[in-house]
Structure 1
């Protein structure tokens, strides 16, 4: 970056005003660059969050599907045990109650 300003050597006020303008210009440039960098970072972060959100949603959907399959299997096993218990003696009824507690 090149900055030029001309003042008389003995004119301190002009030098002060010139430096003040240069400083203001530099602040403006720095602020603009910082704002652009900040906005770029925010965009990247939201893009990443959006992608992570979609990935997490798919992962949760898979977990729920797995849990539903496991629950169906457990329900089938419970029904099967109840069927066996219903056809057998009272000794197996005690076993059924233990299974029922374990599977519930």
Structure 2
């Protein structure tokens, strides 16, 4: 018999795990710099979260849901950190490119 943990999870627990998995996938795409895929998956995750939270949580599942939400928020913070890291890198590269263009323009104007 092939036993899997998901076989004993309730449908709500599977949905919650799916939200967590989507969050981790968004982070993976962000770390790869694949922002197009990250945004697409983020939109899907948002819709899935809205659907999940359209139903109220039972008292028995509220602690688990709160724990997963906290973990998802931690993952979202990691995605933000990666995003700002990439943004800062692009700003620096853009500044360097602008300086190089000015230097080339200066050379051209002085060489003709």
Q: TM-score normalized by structure 2? A: 0.46
Q: TM-score normalized by structure 1? A: 0.49
